[in-house]
Chains A and B, each alone.
Chain A
Amino acid sequence: MAKPSSVAVAAATPPTPATRDMLPLLRVGILVLIAIIGFSSRLFSVVRFESIIHEFDPWFNYRSTQYMVKNGMYSFWNWFDERSWYPLGRVVGGTVYPGLMVTATVIHNILHGLNYPMDIRNICVMMAPLFSGLTALATYLFTSEVCNRTAGLFAAVFIAVAPGYISRSVAGSYDYEGIAIFILMLCFYLWLRALRTGSPLMAVFTAVTYFYMVATWGGYVFIINLIPLHAFVLILMGRFSNRLYVAYCTFYAVGTMAAMQIPFVGFQPTSSSEHMAALGTFGMLQLVAFAHFVRSHLPNQQFKQLLRWLLVGGVALLVGIFLLLSATRFIAPWTGRFYSLWDTGYAKANIPIIASVSEHQPTAWASLFFDLQLLMLLFPAGIYFCFTKFEEAQIFVIIYSLFASYFAGVMVRLVLTLTPIVCVAAGIAMANLLYSYGSPTATPAKPRNSIIQLAVLGCLFISVLMFMFHSTWATSEAYSSPSVVLASSRPDGSRIIIDDFRDAYYWLRKNTAPDAKLMSWWDYGYQLTGFTNRTVLVDNNTWNNTHIATVGLAMGSDEDKAYEILRKLDVDYVLVVFGGLVGYSGDDLNKFLWMVRIAAGVYPDELNEKDFYTAGGEFRLDDQASQKMKDSLMYKLSYYRFNEALQGQGMDRVRQSKAPSKPIRLDMLEEVMTSSHWIVRIFKLKEPDNLGRNLHKVATFNKKQK
């Protein structure tokens, strides 16, 4: 908490000759402290829980990092994962951004090379905090490039603690975003630097950083659209320069060739729509440069005429070619995820699998404010200050903030890309405010008024302090839960740890055959393979909608039909997550309608969403639930023996409804494990009857014979 005040002091201190020599030292010291703050405020989850990988996707990254550490780079590249997407399998090497795993492996190997053995898990857990510290440095560099070092220091401290970024980079959140934001800021910094100096070397550095980004995160498209856009805007504004030409052409040529080395990206930079803007800008730059060359050899009047025709003709030609190639599908059509960026209703109507993910929902105002707080107020001010200066770098900040704001409004997860620029703008605003009010000597423009100065500085200090408190609180309360382990508090305030997931996963690991096939909804796929080392049918890499729909179909069908599907898929165990006992709202029954929707999208003859509502169109799970709902496998598995275990007083605490009162009959699966809070329930598929009878008949027969 000492940090903001020290920054304020440093920034406010006038550079008198005596202190001027101290400034670099002070600056380095402050930056190091900021990096440490950035690192340590992300350790809540490790302190509270333990050094554990969080969430869902990080489990896959962790598993593949383990694979890479064990088998080396080339095996990873050629890795065909037979443990996921049974029986289709997944070609991991060609469907993954390997940057994160490579980074972790490199760190691991360096440490081991220095005879400092550190477990790969701990490296993975600490990766995001480590890179957050580096992000603060990159943001400092970027902001210094745009404004000045004071603004840089402010931006650095803001990005170090901004909840919008912490949400994706706490310890254990071993995901692409954790390191991608660092690369993003570094890349933009290098771009601005290359643009300012016109140095091909810097442009090559930009391209190399861009390559690292391509290797790391699908969000690299943001870079490859934003930089060309910047160049394009500069040309339109008549700010074409040889520096721009050198910087952009070097960056584009080297960066694109480098990007194509990533197997997952392959030839997309030459064929997909997302990359066309960069190519177009590249071509346009050549034309403009050529025009400048011609202008230097032609009289002005002739040139203007020529330029006009050239421009019209060139643009028309480019658009025509693009349309032609799009129509002939030579350029890949826009993907669904891309469409949903422009039309927020698109995914809901057409691609339920995208809409079903909560982080793809549009952002609520409250969550924007929760993630950015004070920065939300400083953001417009910072942009205003950018307009007042309006050079190349400032234009870049404005473009960036414009686009990032829009995308952040469309998708919750893209608040992440907005956060850095908000921090930068806020840093600029703070620096300018401090310059205006913090200077002890009166400038001719503004006569000195120490009371107003003090009041403004005091307000700023208090709001920054409150932002710090808010950030710490948000980090500790909202963003530090591993979600594999749940925490809740008793009425007396003491903490209670709900460790059902790991219990169940450990049970599976120890009690099932090594080649057992597990079926669950795709959300748990990565965790299941990561924890249990068993084969799963679907996982969070939702590349095959049909396969997911088949699982949804099994969950939504009655027992006989489901049994048939499960047998065909060689399933041994079915895992469902049920939160009714303890009120865990992220359970499968709450996702059930999405399963039905996704299944109905592929198998419209088999399932219909309407059948799962009551006659009155309600979604109910108690005794008034529709027959189709009551027959569905998911319903049966969730509520199996629930009411009996609670002596007929069963109350579903998620839906706030009564549990079904009639005992649920389950003939084709048997319960093998239910975790202590009933969150995870595991069922084993029964073998077909030895005498060839229908399993319902077997159950009836066995009951009668007792």
Chain B
Amino acid sequence: MRFFHLLLAATLAYTSIPEGQAKSLTGDRALLVLPKATEAKPEDYGRFVESLKSRGFSVTFQTATSNKLNLFVYGERQFDHLVLLAPKAKRLGNGITAKSLVEFIDDGGNIVMAAGSDFGGAQRDFAKQLGIDFDLRGNVAVDHFHYLPAPETEAGVRDPENHTRILTDQYTNSTYIVGDQVRQGGPILYQGVGHRHMTNSQPTMLWSVLTGYPTTYSFDTSEGQVVTSKDSLLSGSKMHLVSAFQARNNARVMVVGSTSLFSDAFFATPVPSSTVLTSPKPNGNDQFVRDLTEWTFQEKSVVRVNSVSYHVVGPNESDEKKESNPSANPGSFRVSDRIKYSINLSEYYADQWHPAQVNQLQFEAVMLDPYVRQTLEAESRTGTAAVYSQIIDLPDVYGVFTFKVDFLRRGLSHVKHTDVVPILPFKHNEYDRYLVSAYPYYISAGSLMVSFLVFCGIWIFNGDSTIKVKKS
């Protein structure tokens, strides 16, 4: 039965994504930048690459120092997604600087960047622009309580006794990036550096995805080093291992302090369960890396506004506008109109658009200050979209208002929709007539007219007699 479900899901996925088309929303050209061939080969990241390819990406490999490595050619962005796995490279490609990487983001490209203990040059500068400050060179993340003991036979590990291969499952709350499968699975095996967020970084744009346990700290493990100052020590939840960044244009960057997180070797290394000395189980790296790259490459947690509509409800509903074009939003409203504002949202995940599930979605009508701020309620949903709406009483103030929905959540793409809608005062013929309070005026006008006629009548018919009296 379960097999059947899987099969069904696979077929569905297959039919919904045509051959050769990426599941990412922003393109399928991915570039994997690797260090010199002596340090790492594409095969080291075989499973990671395989995962990318199975998700429809066409993956290009380049060595970090290669002159053929260009992000832009004649101003055209060459790749949609960039994976930087060469932290040691002082020089990147054909004159790629931190500025080029910033431009890549500004142009809508996404970046996964792995750092290492001797991380420097353009990439470090770039990280700084995001508000990420990597720890001093030589420092690595260490945890003496949660680590993977080095097996006797393993070679190549620099100093197994320093506990640098740490285990952690300290994900931050947001499930938009790290899914439940990872949260419930094995811990992450991590060997690399930690970083801090600079004080002036934007909390809405940069946030932590994974930290170490409170016992994790950052330290230079080479011979003869001692902890000198407690203040400079980066540790615990202040020490971020993986951070996510989403720019204003919704381009995404994932900064990871480790290259080995992506490697086949780590994918394959079993870890002990939380209770010591029980049977080893697979770690969470495989799925974790998949979650990270899916988020970064716009394969999930992308929300789009399909449509926004607003119109007058109730007795004042205007007829003439509806006749001409029923679907178009009116260009203006009148003061104190009661309107219905609805917004149609979809969220992309699992290769498909789904009805977006959001809460505390707020509508604002702003003219210098917000005059209205109300929460939109879920109204209806179709297969691919959800409608959130609210009945809104417009203020009794005229002016050029901005109808604004500005929804910002860590992990979700920034939902922002603004319409400039003038709210007009009453037209000369729209005021109420025959008010009760106006009756004294009507009566006074009428009585004046009548008495004028009466007066004229009296004047005319008595005129002759007075003249006669005078004459006599």
Contact = CB atoms under 8 A, between A and B. Distances in A.
B200 A690 contact: no
Interface in A292-336: none
Given A89-B398, A705-B97, A692 B424 contact: no
B399 A691 contact: no
Interface stretch (B86-94, B98-106, B144-152, B174-182): B98-106
Where chain A touches its partner, the secondary structure class is: loop
Given A80-B422, A80-B425, A89 B205 contact: no
B420 A515 contact: yes
A232 to B, nearest CB: 27
Given A691-B102, A705-B98, A88 B129 contact: no
Contacts of A569: 368
Nearest to B400: A87
Given A87-B399, A701-B99, A705-B98, A690 B106 contact: yes
Given A77-B428, A690-B247, A692-B202, A89 B399 contact: yes
Given A80-B425, A568-B368, A705-B99, A688 B248 contact: yes
Interface in B90-126: 97-99, 102, 105-106
A158 interface: no
Question: Which of B97, B332, B401, B428 has its CB near the most chain A CB atoms (within 10 A)?
Answer: B428
A99 B348 CA distance: 59
Interface residues of B, number: 34
Question: Which of A568, A570, A692 has its CB near the most chain B CB atoms (within 10 A)?
Answer: A692
Contacts of A46: none
A91 B398 contact: yes
A88 B200 contact: no
Question: Which of A87, A515, A568 has its CB near the most chain B CB atoms (within 10 A)?
Answer: A87
Given A87-B367, A705-B98, A691 B129 contact: yes
A692 B205 contact: yes
A706 B105 CA distance: 18
A590 interface: no
Question: Which of B105, B248, B402 has its CB near the most chain A CB atoms (within 10 A)?
Answer: B248
Question: Which of A77, A82, A88, A568 has its CB near the most chain B CB atoms (within 10 A)?
Answer: A82
Contacts of A77: 428
B201 interface: yes
B97 A694 contact: no
B434 to A, nearest CB: 20
A706 B97 CA distance: 9
B400 A691 contact: no
A239 to B, nearest CB: 27
A693 interface: yes
A78 interface: yes
A689 B251 CA distance: 13
A691 B205 contact: yes
Contacts of A706: 99
B400 A88 contact: yes
A702 interface: yes
B427 interface: yes
A80 B398 CA distance: 9
Contacts of B425: 80, 91, 94
A409 B102 CA distance: 64
Interface string B126-157: 00011100000000000000000000000000
Given A87-B368, A702-B99, A705-B99, A692 B400 contact: no
A78 B202 contact: no
Interface string B254-289: 000000000000000000000000000000000000
B420 to A, nearest CB: 7
A691 B246 CA distance: 8
Contacts of B247: 690-692
B201 A82 contact: no
Given A86-B400, A88-B399, A694 B200 contact: yes
Nearest to B251: A690
B201 A692 contact: yes
B249 interface: yes
Contacts of B129: 691, 693, 701
Contacts of B367: 87-88
Nearest to A84: B400
Contacts of B245: 691
Interface in A85-115: 86-89, 91, 93-94
B34 to A, nearest CB: 25
B131 A89 contact: no
A692 B131 CA distance: 9
B248 A692 contact: yes
Contacts of A570: 402
Interface string B399-432: 1111000000000000000001010110110000
Given A87-B401, A88-B367, A690 B422 contact: no
A89 B98 contact: no
Interface string A558-591: 0000000000111000000000000000000000
Interface string A60-89: 000000000000001001101010001111
Nearest to B331: A82
Interface in A480-516: 515
A518 to B, nearest CB: 14
Nearest to B430: A78
Interface string B192-209: 000000001110111000
A80 B421 CA distance: 12
A556 B299 CA distance: 47
A89 B398 CA distance: 8
Contacts of A74: 428
Interface in A650-706: 688-694, 701-702, 705-706
Given A82-B422, A89-B422, A701-B99, A690 B400 contact: no
Nearest to B99: A705
A88 B367 CA distance: 7
Nearest to B126: A691
B424 A80 contact: yes
B298 to A, nearest CB: 16
B331 to A, nearest CB: 10
Contacts of B399: 87-89
Interface string A179-211: 000000000000000000000000000000000
Contacts of A93: 428
Contacts of B206: 692
A569 B400 CA distance: 11
A80 B423 CA distance: 9
A14 B424 CA distance: 67
Contacts of A94: 425
Interface string A530-572: 0000000000000000000000000000000000000011100
A208 B117 CA distance: 91
B400 A89 contact: yes
A80 B427 CA distance: 10
Nearest to B427: A78
A691 B105 contact: yes
Nearest to A568: B368
Question: Which of A89, A94, A694 has its CB near the most chain B CB atoms (within 10 A)?
Answer: A89
A691 B106 CA distance: 8
B197 to A, nearest CB: 12
Question: Which of B130, B400, B420, B424 has its CB near the most chain A CB atoms (within 10 A)?
Answer: B400
A22 to B, nearest CB: 48
Interface in A386-437: none
A701 B129 CA distance: 9
A436 B422 CA distance: 69
Given A80-B332, A80-B425, A705-B97, 9 more contacts: A80-B398, A88-B400, A569-B368, A689-B248, A691-B131, A692-B201, A692-B204, A694-B200, A705-B99
Closest 10 pairs (CB-CB, A-B)? A692-B202, A705-B99, A78-B427, A87-B400, A82-B422, A80-B424, A690-B247, A692-B205, A87-B367, A690-B248
17 contacts: A74-B428, A77-B428, A80-B332, A80-B398, A80-B422, A88-B400, A91-B425, A689-B248, A690-B249, A690-B251, A691-B129, A691-B130, A691-B131, A692-B206, A692-B247, A701-B98, A701-B99
